[in-house]
Amino acid sequence: MTTVTSPLAGRAIGLASVPDPVFSGAMVGPGTAIDPERSPSEAVSPVDGVIISLHPHAFVVVDANGHGVLTHLGIDTVQLNGEGFELLVNKGDTVTRGQSIVRWDPAAVEAAGKSPVCPVVALEATADALSELREDGDVKAGDSLFLWK
């Protein structure tokens, strides 16, 4: 069992509320989403593991169970070409839950015309593999979002 925690402070809104059909339709995988606080912050690792994919706008951490967790910082933020994002680790690094991965500013993302909403997705999982899914309410970085069996 893997506990996946929030990489950001904000409000849990669930994947269905994400303004992107790929995420809202859970095509990438099941999970939830966070509407982040609008202040400069650091997105942290939702699990202990290894960074297997790292971009300014998104990262994937794989835990000891082989579970890959995608954190996507905003929607269509790849179009910002890394502007406003600062990587704090490298691909291949071993990280611990709560360790800072990317520094960014959700308000700047919003000012650039993009949604700052952040999907947190269980890659290659089925919806029934997740439990205690958090889809509403305020969350702090490190609060539990879902359990992955």
Q: Which residues belong to the active site? A: 72
Classified as helix, coil or strand, 17 is: helix
Tokens of 135: 């889809």
* Torsion, Cα of 85, 89, 58, 134 (10° steps): -110
Contacting residues for 6 by C-beta, under 8 A, at least 6 apart: 12, 34, 46, 120, 134, 139, 140, 141, 142, 143, 144, 145
**Residue 77 in tokens:** 């933020």
Helix (H, G, I), strand (E, B) or coil at 80: helix
**CA 54/CA 35 separation, integer angstroms:** 21
